[in-house]
Structure 1
Amino acid sequence: MEGFMDALRLLQFEEYGAIAQFTRSDAPGASCDSFSSLNLGLHVGDDPEVVQKNRRIAADIAGISETRIVYAEQVHGARVAVVHADDAGRGAFDTADAIKGVDGLVSTARGLLLAILAADCTPVLFYDPYAGVIGAAHAGWKGTAQGVVMETIKEMKKLGANPEDMLVALGPAIRGCCYEVDQPVTDALEDMYRKLATREPIPFRVSERAAERTMVDLPTLARLQAEQLGVPHGQVIDTSICTHCMPGFFSHRKLRGKAGRHAGFIAIKPRRLSLRGRMR
């Protein structure tokens, strides 16, 4: 991973022929106030024309046409859709046209950029360079509790992907230092954790402010789900960025629901590159 002013680029993915990055909120864009400055969310109350300009800027940063981007509706669930070349542009210009009812997208189409928006939830990117399969998922607490990361990997396997060959990246998200939740959320996430075959301690701790509340690290739970399905620990890349207490990314909680959205983007580059050997 390498940090740039405009985006976090995943160099491990690029080495194997992908475009993979997480955009930054503070990259040069056209939005103002709490949406400043590269807000990519059309659904958050920002001027739609300004957001479209920002989306063109983000596409330029990624080096791909905005007409080749596909967005999911993102309903805080665990459903995943397979998308194809003829889905290019879905959700790019109108939220009503996004892929309905899903929080994950997978594809084998070269040059098709999968997009996931976030502002505290974990954007997760997936890539099997040998099978030529990519994925992107939105893992909020509800999606995490329902296993959206595992569901994305399962859909990729149906397209020929092998978890042992996958790279997985966990984008900027609210972390255990700042994500305080109530008992129903704790119960749902504990139930998911108990179903995982892991000896790693649950990434929870009691809140210092209120004993009945819990501090949760959602990206760690996403990582454990990927490892449950067979992705090697060393092939899960965690940006380790907390959107709530670190600069450069939107936080829905910090801005009390008035935040813009950054994005995770992934595509297989249009021109096939030679792969230099297995990752393991």
Structure 2
Amino acid sequence: MDALRLLQFEEYGAIAQFTRADAPGVSCDSFASLNLGLHVGDDPEAVRKNRRIAADIVGLSETRIVYAEQVHGARVAIVHAKDAGRGAYDTKDAIQGVDGLVTSARGLGLAILAADCTPVLLYDPYAGVIGAAHAGWKGTAQGVVMATIEEMKKLGAHPEDMLIALGPAIRGCCYEVDRPVTDALTAMYRNLKTQESLPFRASERTPGRTMVDLPTLVRLQAETAGVPHEQVVDTSVCTHCMPGFFSHRKQRAKAGRHAGFIAIRPRRLSLRGRLR
């Protein structure tokens, strides 16, 4: 299996997949083998070849995919057909200063890189709008997923019609953080309209530190923004303790990047009924 396919998205006319680190690629050593990060110290030409391979895996052309700079913030950009290929071969050409991308252009792919942070894919099949977001702890504390949903609404999307997928990420079993991180995430959580408990627990390994389930906080943000609980798809993969994915916490500077890709198929499909 070279990627995690989101069949729920495909049923409604989208291409939506999360790649695996161990899919056949050309990178070596700790970057083996399908590293898609141009900024991590891997051979740039190997990464470009890997991106072409990844595009083939998901069924897109690399010249039709848009990449974000990803700065651990909450800014989101609306992109258009003219942006096709930005960031595919050079990080300087990516959409600068953003951690989320949104479009209504059919056949235009959005890419989000990750290696512990939560890659998030979003789709309103009735409005024909997609989004992709990079939710690390800083972006989550700033509400990057809610910001992505707000930008999608500008293109006519409705949260109650959205499908959202949470990709491979470090989970509460492995994500141990210090007080500044928990304080920032707690402040964000208090603004959410939820009765669910804060997904924290005391670390059994390090006194004074906390285990955090970041994807759960991302889900709660989406639900607060109006996405029904049953329309949130969680891959339930922990990048730190499960094989097949890159983990910055485990590999440090030698960690590559896997990615989430999403696009609306060029041919409009006939949709019947609502999602719920």
The TM-score bracket by the shorter chain reads over 0.9
Could you list the runs of 5+ residues in structure 1 that have no partner in the other structure?
none
Find the aligned partners of 2:268 and 2:163 in 1 and give their Cα distance.
18
SS at 2:268 equivalent: coil
Find the aligned partners of 2:164 and 2:18 in 1 and give their Cα distance.
13
The answer to whether the aligner puts 1:100 opposite 2:93 as a matched pair is no
* Aligned position for 2:143: 147
Q: TM-score w.r.t. structure 1 length?
A: 0.98
SS at 2:130 equivalent: strand
Find the aligned partners of 2:48 and 2:87 in 1 and give their Cα distance.
11
The 5 Å alignment of 1:109-128 reads 109-128=105-124
> Which of 233, 250, 271 is equivalent to 2:246?
250
> Which of 79, 84, 89 is equivalent to 2:85?
89
Q: CA deviation at 1:46?
A: 0.4
Find the aligned partners of 1:67 and 1:162 in 2 and give their Cα distance.
29
The answer to whether the aligner puts 1:42 opposite 2:38 as a matched pair is yes
Find the aligned partners of 1:82 and 1:239 in 2 and give their Cα distance.
26
SS at 1:169 equivalent: strand
* Aligned position for 2:192: 196
The answer to whether the aligner puts 1:208 opposite 2:227 as a matched pair is no
Find the aligned partners of 2:208 and 2:196 in 1 and give their Cα distance.
23
SS at 1:255 equivalent: helix
Q: TM-score w.r.t. structure 2 length?
A: 0.99
The 5 Å alignment of 1:160-171 reads 160-171=156-167
Structure 2 counterpart of 1:177, one-letter code: C
> Which of 225, 229, 242 is equivalent to 1:233?
229
Could you list the runs of 5+ residues in structure 2 that have no partner in the other structure?
none
The answer to whether the aligner puts 1:259 opposite 2:239 as a matched pair is no
Percent same amino acid at aligned positions? Answer: 85
Q: CA deviation at 1:211?
A: 2.6
The 5 Å alignment of 1:4-23 reads 5-23=1-19
Q: CA deviation at 1:274?
A: 1.1
Structure 1 counterpart of 2:61, one-letter code: S
SS at 1:168 equivalent: strand
* Aligned position for 1:130: 126
Structure 1 counterpart of 2:49, one-letter code: K
Q: CA deviation at 1:171?
A: 0.1
SS at 2:45 equivalent: helix
Q: CA deviation at 1:257?
A: 2.4
Q: CA deviation at 1:273?
A: 1.1
SS at 1:243 equivalent: coil
The answer to whether the aligner puts 1:186 opposite 2:182 as a matched pair is yes
SS at 1:109 equivalent: coil
Find the aligned partners of 1:244 and 1:210 in 2 and give their Cα distance.
17
The answer to whether the aligner puts 1:220 opposite 2:216 as a matched pair is yes
Q: Which 4+ runs in 1 deviate beyond 2 A?
A: none
SS at 2:4 equivalent: strand
Find the aligned partners of 1:26 and 1:277 in 2 and give their Cα distance.
38
The answer to whether the aligner puts 1:174 opposite 2:188 as a matched pair is no
The C-alpha deviation readout for 1:242-273, integer Å capped at 9, x for no partner, is: 00000111000111221000000000001111
Find the aligned partners of 2:30 and 2:191 in 1 and give their Cα distance.
39
* Aligned position for 1:270: 266
Find the aligned partners of 1:64 and 1:8 in 2 and give their Cα distance.
15
